[in-house]
Structure 1
Amino acid sequence: MYTITLNDGNKIPAVGFGVFTIPNDGPTYDAVLQALKAGYRHIDTAAAYFNESDVGKAVRDSGIPREEIFITSKLWLQDYGYEAAKKGLAASLEKLGMDYIDLYLLHQPYGDVAGAWKALEEAKEDGVLKSIGVSNMTPKIWKEFLPQASTIPAVNQVECNPFFQQKELKALLAEHDVKIEAYQPLGSGNAAMLSHPAVTKIAEKYGKNAGQIVLRFELQEGLIILPRSTNPERIAGNIDLFDFELTEEEMNAIRAMDTGKGKHDPEAPGIAEMLLANYKIHD
């Protein structure tokens, strides 16, 4: 598995398997086992995905040593603040059935971010978390957050794909060697993206499907990608990306697809209140 070295020296598999919206109590367990069988060694979950327990069970039942699998999870807004974050992390560890997590993120950039980040920094010092990072931080939010942090995040997990390439954010993060983790790397199966002539022409050349071309483009752009599927054929296909390489001309053709806009706006008014109201992970 191709890995990327983070700014803290830890290595992360560049292709991860995302489990957002896959139900717990069976479906996530089955999907993660299928992904591990296909060769994935990076699983991305979150407290607010409500499926950490299935991820942990699948890892234990896979027969693969724990240290060979990179696990990412995320702290939810309800558990922001210093003391609350320590309890939230403990809950994630318990649900996963693990004594450490490879990468733990602040899932959303609202509320007592500084207090929550301090708790993650301490957990990293204690070895409970190997790497720590953030998510959904725009350039504006990132600039406001950074002075509050003693530890530079290893990653910022954001929406990123050919239609929304996050060029400003990528340049800003590069100043501190912070990597972008791309969620929705296929635009949630965006038909316009996957049928774009720039993509289909390249797919035909290499004998690959459109999704594989998009994912290969993102890898060559230095992104950590988190494709998601419950279809065994697609799960396997989404990691079959290392037997071809796009030319600079082909890369430029896909770069030209950028619209500069995504589906999710972390700076939208009322977004924090909406998220808290709709995603309650505990009473």
Structure 2
Amino acid sequence: MALPQTVPLRAANSKTIQIPSVGYGTWAAGDTSWAKDATLTALKEGYRHLDCAWMYGVDEAVGAAIKESGIPREEIFVTSKFWCHFAHPDNVELCLDKILKNMGLDYIDLFLAHWPCAWKPRSREALENARSGPDDQEAKGMVFNDDGKPAVDWEHSTRNMAKIKGEEGSFVPTWKVMQECVRKGKARAVGVSNFSITELNELLPHEGDVPLSCNQIEVHPWLPQREMVEFAHKNGIVITCYSPFAGQPKEGGAVLVKDPTVVELAKKNDMDVGQLLQSWAVQRGTVPLGKSATPARITSNLAIRELSDEDMKTLDDMAKPNGEGRTVNPGEGWGVSLFEN
């Protein structure tokens, strides 16, 4: 049986739209010169799902690739995210407007909150003039503490993250503005990224006519997020998976794409390693967002194929006692240390 090419995604007014089951990630670590050509290659090779974010600093390049590809806009599924200092309810739509302008689009298909945390902007004017990208933090218009960390707006962070720091907060007002962006036609669906189960449960009672469609999290055989995936499936939330190749090495420098088990299974199935890992993700009912700037790998990462039950179990078992890697305990607040004062 062939693996699905699309996955149903809940949208407004009880409608369902289709999200391609494999996406192309556009995150850039500093240098963004690769973005236009690589995205254009991805589109020409058959990708119809682009995962983006304001913070990545590649909106113009991705928009140019979409235009140059000649592919009708309605055939391309575009996801983007607002960065944490746009999380105040007054500023969410501003970030979406900047994304649309930079990409040259009238709408995006899926609009996500990048993290369950809000940061303080210097001013509305600073946000209006903010420039995206992974390096120049000052140009983003954020407030920084004396220790160099962003100043956190706990009032507009999730209740869970604020509580961990002894503060009171709620993401619901921000969520309601995100829903309004759908009603205005600027996005077809909305969701979140890096939210725990507790944080999802804060928003689920406030779905109304615009549901919580997606949670984008890190997922791979070293970090399978079984409890989160099961919770999402039960609640009609699509899990999209960043870092499906586990970009960060384990202690000792081991990397997933060179893990002997992964390499052996890829060889057994006559697959590239990335192709194997993305096939595993899709077969679990999740949507991987692999990134590569190498044309051959861009092509092979899209060529997902069904794996045997035995091979799926082998990959699943990599996360057991000696292979669990980093763990995320649902409800404990993802990445609190990244945002704390």
TM-score, scaled to structure 1: 0.88
User: Shift in Å at residue 252 of structure 1?
Assistant: 0.8
Are positions 1:94 and 2:101 aligned together? yes
Are positions 1:146 and 2:213 aligned together? no
Are positions 1:213 and 2:276 aligned together? yes
- Where 1:6 maps in the other structure, the secondary structure is strand
Q: 1:261 to 1:146 in 2, by over 3 A?
A: farther
Q: 1:131 to 1:163 in 2, by over 3 A?
A: same
Please, which of 73, 80, 86 is the counterpart of residue 80 of structure 2? 73
Distance 2:34 2:328 in 1: 26
Unaligned runs of 5+ in 2: 119-155, 157-170
Contact 1:24 / 1:50 at 8 angstroms: preserved in 2?
Answer: no
Q: 1:56 to 1:203 in 2, by over 3 A?
A: same
Distance 2:86 2:198 in 1: 23
* Higher-Rg member (1/2): 2
User: Shift in Å at residue 237 of structure 1?
Assistant: 1.3
Opposite residue 95 of structure 2, the aligned amino acid is: G
Opposite residue 318 of structure 2, the aligned amino acid is: M
Are positions 1:3 and 2:67 aligned together? no
Contact 2:241 / 2:289 at 8 angstroms: preserved in 1?
Answer: yes
Give CA-to-partner distance per residue, 1:130-186, whole Å, 9 cap, x none.
111100012232233434544431110000000000111112112211011000001
Contact 1:81 / 1:114 at 8 angstroms: preserved in 2?
Answer: no
Give CA-to-partner distance per residue, 1:104-154, whole Å, 9 cap, x none.
101111132322221110111222211111000122322334345444311
Distance 1:145 1:74 in 2: 17
Distance 1:271 1:69 in 2: 33
Which residue does 1:184 correspond to in 2?
A: 243
Number of residue pairs matched by the alignment? 272
- The runs of at least 4 aligned residues of structure 1 exceeding 6 Å deviation read none
Q: 1:25 to 1:165 in 2, by over 3 A?
A: closer
Distance 1:262 1:140 in 2: 19
User: Shift in Å at residue 240 of structure 1?
Assistant: 1.7
- Where 1:48 maps in the other structure, the secondary structure is helix
Please, which of 21, 30, 34 is the counterpart of residue 41 of structure 2? 34
Contact 1:229 / 1:235 at 8 angstroms: preserved in 2?
Answer: yes
Q: 1:230 to 1:119 in 2, by over 3 A?
A: same
Opposite residue 6 of structure 2, the aligned amino acid is: T
Which residue does 2:317 correspond to in 1?
A: 256
- Where 2:302 maps in the other structure, the secondary structure is coil
Q: 1:42 to 1:22 in 2, by over 3 A?
A: farther
Distance 1:180 1:21 in 2: 21
Bigger drift between 84-93 and 178-187 goes to 84-93
Unaligned runs of 5+ in 1: 275-283
Bigger drift between 207-216 and 99-108 goes to 207-216
Please, which of 288, 307, 311 is the counterpart of residue 246 of structure 1? 307
- How do 1:120-159 and structure 2 match up within 5 A? 120-150=178-208, 151-159=210-218
Distance 2:292 2:238 in 1: 23
Which residue does 1:272 correspond to in 2?
A: 339
TM-score, scaled to structure 2: 0.74
CA root-mean-square deviation? 2.2
Q: 1:246 to 1:127 in 2, by over 3 A?
A: same
Which residue does 2:223 correspond to in 1?
A: 164
Distance 1:214 1:267 in 2: 24
Bigger drift between 172-181 and 147-156 goes to 147-156
Give CA-to-partner distance per residue, 1:71-91, whole Å, 9 cap, x none.
111011111122211211111
Bigger drift between 69-78 and 182-191 goes to 182-191
